[in-house]
């Protein structure tokens, strides 16, 4: 998670947070590609959008709340810190020149960073600032330590690798914070002509994105980013560190559960977990309505083992987001238990 203003790696750049005036002529605007190499809605997801609300409240471009106070960019998250181990490239969203860079900041989740003042002035962590001409800039924050692959003054082409996704600086999950500015003012790449913080519930426009990119990252409120079987309850913090680090669902596991990971849930949403086993229905649970919006969340259902071993065979799990009585998202996974 990050704030609205980031120092531009030592450059004397005053970054305004206003979203009050229209950007430059459409012909001068960059057309943006996806700023990281990933498969949207499979290996990467949008956790936070730009906060358009000029006051103390929050409002994303689609009039939702998938943001937080003062957020100045778009957070493209990966499944966990473990996803960054093999390198997830951060890419230049448009042609430009490297205006600033920083490397050498450790990848440590904010909640685990015990160094007092350790990131003051370096909230962006490792990052790159690109100048696209005509007053347009893009900035890429929280990159992996040691991964920055460009030099100041270097010319880059859309799609060139700048570094890798990490969690350096002020970050509590692995992601790249991507921000766009024009003449020093924050621009929402989804709604570049936003005036006075106005949003558009029915906006279908591509914004600054290339049309094929816009189609892949269209707005979604409430997503399931992971689900699966485990032999015991995982923790949300543990899954942020390694999405695959769960107790195996084996015949002698102490429990058999199915869990789901969620982002950008709304207050009032309910979550359903269903497990069917080799003998038919194993368990089904529907949560009470959430008391408030949840940026990240996890739920699970299942049983503790009270028999010698779980019956061998195929198990199928399903998790759903239920909003206003309708299922808006579903994720299914299977596992096979082998007799000991």
**Rounded Cα distance, 248 and 89, in Å:** 30
- Sketch the domain layout of the chain as residue ranges: 26-216, 223-337
Residue 231's contacts (CB-CB under 8 Å, 6 or more residues apart) are 246, 247, 248, 249, 250, 253, 254, 255, 256, 257
| Helix (H) or strand (E) segment spanning residue 236 | helix 236-241
What is the pLDDT, as a whole number, of residue 174? 98
Sort strands 326-337 and 313-323 into parallel, antiparallel or unpaired.
antiparallel
What is the pLDDT, as a whole number, of residue 204? 77
Q: What is the CA radius of gyration of the chain?
A: 22
The CATH superfamily holding the domain 26-216 is: Glucose Permease (Domain IIA) (2.70.70.10)
Of the CATH numbers 3.20.20.140, 1.20.1250.20, 1.10.10.10, 2.60.40.10, which one belongs to the domain with range 223-337?
A: 2.60.40.10
Residue 333's contacts (CB-CB under 8 Å, 6 or more residues apart) are 227, 228, 229, 258, 316, 317
What is the pLDDT, as a whole number, of residue 8? 62
Q: Which residues of the chain have pLDDT under 70?
A: 1-27, 115-118
What is the pLDDT, as a whole number, of residue 7? 55
> In 3-state terms, what secondary structure has residue 216?
helix
User: Could you count the other beta carbons within 10 Å of the beta carbon of residue 185?
Assistant: 16
**Rounded Cα distance, 62 and 239, in Å:** 29
Q: Report residue 284 CA to chain centroid gap.
A: 29
User: Could you count the other beta carbons within 10 Å of the beta carbon of residue 43?
Assistant: 14
What is the pLDDT, as a whole number, of residue 22? 54
What is the pLDDT, as a whole number, of residue 274? 98
Maximum pairwise Cα distance, the chain: 71
């Amino acid at each position: 998670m990050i704030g609205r203003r980031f120092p531009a790696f030592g450059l004397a750049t005053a970054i305004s947070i206003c979203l009050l005036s229209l950007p430059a002529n459409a012909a001068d605007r960059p057309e943006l590609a996806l700023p990281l190499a990933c498969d949207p809605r499979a290996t990467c997801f949008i956790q936070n959008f730009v906060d358009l609300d000029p006051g103390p409240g929050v409002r994303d471009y689609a009039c939702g709340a998938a943001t937080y106070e003062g957020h100045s960019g778009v957070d493209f998250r990966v499944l966990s810190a473990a996803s960054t181990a093999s390198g997830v490239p951060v890419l230049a969203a448009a042609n430009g020149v490297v205006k600033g860079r920083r490397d050498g900041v450790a990848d440590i989740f904010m909640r685990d960073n015990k160094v007092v003042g350790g990131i003051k002035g370096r909230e962006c962590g490792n990052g790159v600032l690109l100048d696209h001409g005509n007053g347009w800039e893009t900035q890429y924050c929280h990159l992996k330590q040691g991964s920055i692959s460009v030099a100041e003054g270097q010319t880059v082409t859309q799609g060139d690798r700048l570094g890798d996704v990490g969690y350096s600086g002020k970050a509590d999950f692995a992601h790249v914070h991507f921000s766009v500015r024009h003449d020093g003012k924050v621009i929402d790449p989804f709604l570049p002509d936003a005036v006075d913080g106005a949003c558009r519930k029915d906006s279908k426009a591509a914004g600054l994105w290339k049309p094929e990119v816009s189609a892949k990252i269209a707005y979604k409120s409430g997503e399931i980013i992971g689900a699966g079987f485990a032999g015991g309850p995982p923790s949300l913090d543990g899954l942020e560190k390694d999405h695959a680090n769960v107790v195996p669902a084996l015949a002698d596991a102490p429990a058999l559960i199915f869990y789901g990971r969620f982002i950008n849930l709304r207050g009032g949403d309910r979550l359903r977990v269903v497990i069917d086993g080799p003998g038919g229905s194993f368990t089904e649970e529907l949560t009470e309505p959430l008391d408030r919006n949840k940026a990240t969340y996890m739920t699970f259902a299942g049983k503790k083992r009270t028999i010698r071993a779980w019956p061998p065979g195929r198990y199928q799990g399903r998790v759903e987001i239920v909003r206003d009585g309708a299922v808006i998202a579903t994720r299914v996974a299977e596992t096979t238990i082998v007799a000991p």
